[in-house]
Amino acid sequence: MRVFTKYLLFSLICLLTLGGCKKDEEKEEVGKGPDPSQPVEFSDYSPREGSVRTRFYIYGTNLGTDVSRIKVSIGGRMLNVIGASDDKVYCIVPKRTNTGEVKVVINGDDGTPLAEHVFSEEFTYVPRVSVGTLVGKVDQYGNSAVVNGTFEEAGFNNPTWVLFERNTNSLFVVERDQLVRRVDINDRMVSTLITNGQASFKSLQTATLSFDNDTLFIVDDNGADHKNTVAIAYTLRSENFRRVHPYLYDRTSYACAHHPVDRVMFFNTWWGGGLLKAFYDPVLGGLNSKELFRVGGNNSIKTTIFFHPSGNFAYFLEGGCVYKSRYNWTTKELEAPIVFAGAQGFRGDVDAIGTSARFGWLYQGVFVKNPAYAGQEDEYDFYVCDVDNHSVRVVTPTGEVSTFAGKGSPSSDGKKEGYIDGDLRKEARFNKPSGIAYDAVREIFYITEMNNKRIRTISVE
């Protein structure tokens, strides 16, 4: 017993000693300020220009090693100070830094400036467009689930379609066959708005906003070959997009589009890929529809529809093809389309002009104004998600197709897909991106991914 007691006492002394040593080591690891007996001098900085995440250095003598005392700014924008030695300070340039003067301040023990310096030559910030991640919690195995809550908690199961709602800086995300989610970017919260079962929905597909952003239209794969079931429903901003109302009874549908000027509704159906127009039928006392044409013959099924902001034409996406249809302002109808980019029945991954280009599977696209086209008949590029090629492609007004983002970080496995943020083409990878929306004010793209189960961003940093 006496031996055991001595052993416990010895162990306790060892623990206390080690603990004391550890505290002493921690104290020694804390940086020190400049030597008060020596002057603080600043000699230079580098590099002279850079973009987000650039490594930035301040050089001098007697700068100290305590990063908490050192403040570095460029054009008034504070930098992240990572480390310091007596002759060098190491920083990282944050996104959206300004071009401007480089200022360094080193505080004394009492927190007041001990030394400060402004370099005569300004730093030039080079904006970089890159891919990032907005929200989507995924475990180590790539699994996720429908979870509402903060951006840190929220998860998605099958995010396939996205719309940007500018009035509240929010996103509507359709998880195909299941529900509609709302992503509040300002409050960083995700909630569920609509599920299958509301308004007799059987299998939610896609959605579109009216051009005043006050009405959300949702289409349903109701599985019916008759006009007794709701194909399109709507929900209103005035009701916080919570109540669902029948809009059009028709056969199963996959996409709809509201004309931006005439407010005429167009939608598609499964049978032969018919493109239909909704119209008021006085006999029915409500909306009816008529088929205008079939996209790609009788083989098209899930055609998606996108009106140009001018209303002069619409693009149809079907498989690996972009069709273009002119709008007849007299009849208020779309005319039979032509193949604008890609080739019917052919798939691939080729950047080229018109029918020489090749796509994988195209799902959602968005028109984005290009300042370089100012004064031209068409001032918009069309950005589209190429699901099977794991990339975002661009179609110009002349039909020239190029790859905008994705398929970066080349590796020996030859794969195009993945989950990597960073430079648009050199680093970034997607995994079946399908939905795309654009915030023209903040110049941000929002991308939904079927396999990564996240919402990604493309923005200027």
Domain for residue 32, yes or no? Answer: no
Residue whose token pair is 């017993």: 1
CA distance 16 to 23: 11
Backbone phi and psi for residue 373, each to the nearest 5 degrees, phi listed first = -100, 10
CA-CA distance, 159 to 434, in Å (whole number)? 8
Query: Nearest CA to 284 among 228, 333, 239?
Result: 228
Tell me the pLDDT tens digit for each residue of 305-315: 999 999 999 99
**Alpha-carbon distances, residue 99 vs 51, 75, 127, 267 (angstroms):** 10, 6, 10, 48
Are residues 100 and 211 part of one domain? no
Q: Is residue 160 part of a domain?
A: yes
* Residues 352-378 pLDDT 10s: 999 999 999 999 999 999 999 999 999
Is residue 73 in some structural domain? yes
Cβ atoms < 10 Å from Cβ of 193? 18
Least confident of 15-19, 50-54, 331-335, 432-436: 15-19
**Within a domain: 6:** no
Q: Same domain, yes or no, for 103 and 134? A: no
Name beta bridge partners: 333: 328
Range of the domain at 392: 129-460
Over residues 264-304, the pLDDT tens digits come to 999 998 877 789 999 999 988 889 999 999 887 656 668 99
**pLDDT tens profile 391-420:** 999 999 999 999 999 999 877 788 899 999
Instruction: Supply 13's token pair.
Output: 């002394």
pLDDT at 300: 60
pLDDT, tens digit, 9 for 90 and up, residues 111-141: 899 999 999 999 999 988 899 999 999 998 8
Backbone angles phi, psi at 239, to 5 degrees: -110, 20
**Are both 200 and 251 inside the same structural domain?**
yes
pLDDT(21) > 60: no
Domain boundary among the residues 71, 93, 125 is at 125
Q: What residue has token string 């030394």?
A: 115
The mean pLDDT value for 189-193 works out to: 96
Residue 62 CA to residue 40 CA, distance in Å, equals: 5
Q: Output the domain CATH number for residue 54.
A: 2.60.40.10
Q: Per the domain annotation, does 10 fall within a domain?
A: no
Return d(Cα 348, Cα 58) in angstroms, integer.
49
Domain co-membership, 305 together with 326: yes
Predicted local confidence at residue 412, as pLDDT? 76
Residue 109: pLDDT above 90? no
Q: Are residues 156 and 285 in the same domain?
A: yes
Q: Are residues 109 and 133 in the same domain?
A: no
State which of 92, 125, 158 marks the end of a domain: 125
CA 391 to chain centre: 13
First to last CA, the chain: 69
373 φψ region: left (φ > 0), alpha (ψ -120 to 50), beta (else): alpha
How many domains are contained in the chain? 2
Mean pLDDT of 177-182: 94
Mean pLDDT of 239-249: 92
* pLDDT tens digits along 56-69: 999 999 999 999 99
CATH of the domain at 274: 2.120.10.30
Q: Put residue 407 in one of left, alpha, beta given phi > 0 → left and psi -120 to 50 → alpha.
A: left
Look at residue 302 in the predicted model and tell me its pLDDT: 83
Task: Answer yes or no: do 138 and 195 share one domain.
Answer: yes
> 256: burial class by Cβ within 10 Å (0-12, 13-18, 19+)?
buried
The CA dihedral of 336, 342, 348, 351, to the nearest 10 degrees, is -160
Query: Do 256 and 365 belong together in one domain?
Result: yes
- Pairing label, strands 124-125, 49-50: parallel
Rounded to two decimals, the pTM is 0.81
Last residue of a domain, one of 97, 125, 153: 125
Same domain, 121 and 236: no
Q: What is the pLDDT of residue 298?
A: 59
Residue 184 lies in a domain: yes
What is the model's pLDDT at position 295?
86
Is residue 396 domain-shared with residue 325, that is, in the same domain? yes
pLDDT of residue 132: 94
Nearest-angstrom CA–CA distance, 192 and 204: 13
The overall average pLDDT reported for the chain is 90
What pLDDT is attached to residue 46? 97
Write out the DSSP string of 146-214. Answer: -B-EETTT-B-S-EEEEEEETTTTEEEEEETTTEEEEEETTTTEEEEEEETTGGG-SSEEEEEE-TTS-
Whether residue 365 lies inside any domain: the answer is yes
Give me the mean pLDDT over the 166-190 stretch: 95
Same-domain status, 143 and 92: no
Do 320 and 434 lie in a common domain? yes
* Pairing assessment for the beta strands 391-395 and 401-406 based on DSSP bridges: antiparallel
Q: Tell me the percentage of the chain whose pLDDT exceeds 70.
A: 92
Cis peptide before 47 (omega within 30 of 0): yes
In a domain, 381, yes or no: yes
